[in-house]
Amino acid sequence: MDKKIAITALSSISALGSVTQEIWNNYLNKNHFLKEHDFNSQKALVASLSDESKDKIEALRVSDIKYKSLDNSVLYAMLTARDAVKQAGWETGDDFGINIGSSRGATALFEKYHEEYLKEGKSSTLASPTTTLGNISSWLAHDLQSEGPELSHSITCSTALHALVNGVAWLKSGMSTKFLVGGSEASLTPFTIAQMKALKIYAENNGDTYPCKALDFNKKRNTMALGEGASVICMETDTSKKVLAYIEGVGYATEVLKHNISISDDAECFQKSMKMALKNTNLEEVDVVVMHAPGTIKGDSTEVKAIEKVFGNVMPALTTNKWKIGHTFGASGLLSLELGVLMMQHQKFIEVPYIEHTVKPKQIKKVLVNAVGFGGNAVSVLLSL
């Protein structure tokens, strides 16, 4: 890209925790965070926030009377955004843009209000304003008292990386010099779990050490499991500050669908998005790809085929975090980006413990991050030190 875009802050909350050192320590161990929970009449393996993280969210909820009625998807984003802005040294009243998206949005509140409507035949006053898709970004703008543009979108599981691409476009255009982007998902609700199970892609609790087999190309059934969380980054054109990583390239693509959740056998959308992100890069310089790899048979295999077609005989190391923290839908892309940044900072490759890694990086200076959602909406982001 002709204008250097710097990541000057990064914050997240997930099953890994909400403090950077804690998150990295949890990446260093081989444990996963999937546990079985009851969702009304059904059980499911999910990666939920820790009790400590939930306490932080509840403290935020009761800190302002206006926040008591907000969905967790808003509060997750608000907590991480406050932390990121503080890290970056941005102040109240600063002119910075906000683009935070979500795949499912205010799922818990929507289910609650809909059930209330079915029982009573009427809706609560706050049902509409607390469940709109623009709910997250608008509340963040209020909480941070920012002066720049605020917008939102929902592009299924590639939502957070689409927010990043949009922020890059604003920064490159000169219409803004600072942008806060990310994704948030609080989707561990009965109806959401039921939807995923209806697709026949959900992991079973059959006693496996690792119930979500993301990147295991020998698995015989789909093993996707859900997680919750949020992740945001601060992006700037001012590179004189402390920089965590640079965004060296972005790519995006869609493909023609055969049905609502289809993807081609060699993920044409990923091939296009990766090539766009890598167009000015020597492929041998890419050390790691953090894959989308949701743990489904087709999702994992089509993505690796796309990577093989793009990289040929100079394959980078491959990894993913969904075996550990589940699939966090719209937040997943930036949680994968966080893993990429941490690996570069610590110069340590995080392996998937149940597969044999035929390629391991000698150094980690460039990382490609992938995400894709229903509808074949792929995004690839190239990070560098």
Rounded distance between C-alpha atoms, residue 64 and residue 60, angstroms: 8
Q: What is the mean pLDDT of residues 46-63?
A: 98
Residue 365: its pLDDT value, please? 98
Residue 280: its pLDDT value, please? 87
Q: Which helix (H) or strand (E) holds 307?
A: helix 297-311
- Of the pLDDT bands very low, low, confident and very high (cuts 50, 70, 90), residue 2 is low
pLDDT in tens, 305-336: 999 999 999 999 999 999 999 999 999 999 99
Residue 41: its pLDDT value, please? 83
Cβ atoms 334, 99 nearer than 8 A? no
Which of 133-137, 346-350, 359-363 comes out lowest in average pLDDT? 133-137
Q: What is the mean pLDDT of residues 352-362?
A: 96
Cβ atoms 285, 365 nearer than 8 A? yes
Reduced to 3 states (helix: H, G, I; strand: E, B; else coil), residue 14 is strand
Q: What is the mean pLDDT of residues 130-148?
A: 93
Cβ atoms 183, 81 nearer than 8 A? no
Residue 48 has pLDDT above 60, yes or no: yes
Q: What is the mean pLDDT of residues 207-228?
A: 97
Radius of gyration of the chain (CA): 20
- Of the pLDDT bands very low, low, confident and very high (cuts 50, 70, 90), residue 255 is confident
- How many CB atoms are located within 10 Å of the residue 356 CB? 6
Cα–Cα distance list, 374 to 24, 159, 255, 342 (Å)? 30, 11, 11, 28
Cβ atoms 62, 68 nearer than 8 A? yes
- Of the pLDDT bands very low, low, confident and very high (cuts 50, 70, 90), residue 107 is very high
Our CA angle for 108, 111, 112, nearest 5°, is: 85
User: Residue 69: left if φ>0, alpha if ψ -120 to 50, beta else—which one?
Assistant: alpha
Name the DSSP letter for residue 224.
B
Rounded distance between C-alpha atoms, residue 339 and residue 20, angstroms: 11
Tell me the residue type at 357.
Answer: H
- Of the pLDDT bands very low, low, confident and very high (cuts 50, 70, 90), residue 263 is low
- Tokens representing 280 are 């000015």
Q: What is the mean pLDDT of residues 28-36?
A: 98
- Which of these, 267, 271, 76, 66, lies nearest to 160 by C-alpha position? 76
- Of the pLDDT bands very low, low, confident and very high (cuts 50, 70, 90), residue 362 is very high
Sign (positive/negative) of CA torsion 215, 217, 219, 222? positive
Q: Which residues make beta-bridge pairs with 253? A: 378
- Tokens representing 278 are 């890598």
Residue 260: its pLDDT value, please? 44
Cα–Cα distance list, 273 to 65, 231, 250, 303 (Å)? 43, 22, 8, 12
- Of the pLDDT bands very low, low, confident and very high (cuts 50, 70, 90), residue 1 is low
- Which of these, 254, 258, 278, 276, lies nearest to 267 by C-alpha position? 254
Show the 3-state SS of 171-198. Answer: HHHCCCCEEEEEEEECCCCHHHHHHHHH
User: What is 113-142 written as a DSSP string?
Assistant: HHHHHHHHSS--TTTTTTT-TTHHHHHHHH
- Of the pLDDT bands very low, low, confident and very high (cuts 50, 70, 90), residue 259 is very low
Mean pLDDT, the chain, as a whole number? Answer: 94
Sign (positive/negative) of CA torsion 156, 161, 167, 170? negative
Q: What is the mean pLDDT of residues 140-151?
A: 94
- Of the pLDDT bands very low, low, confident and very high (cuts 50, 70, 90), residue 257 is low
Sign (positive/negative) of CA torsion 158, 354, 15, 18? negative
Cβ atoms 377, 156 nearer than 8 A? yes
pLDDT in tens, 150-184: 999 999 999 999 999 999 999 999 999 999 999 99
Q: What is the mean pLDDT of residues 272-291?
A: 96
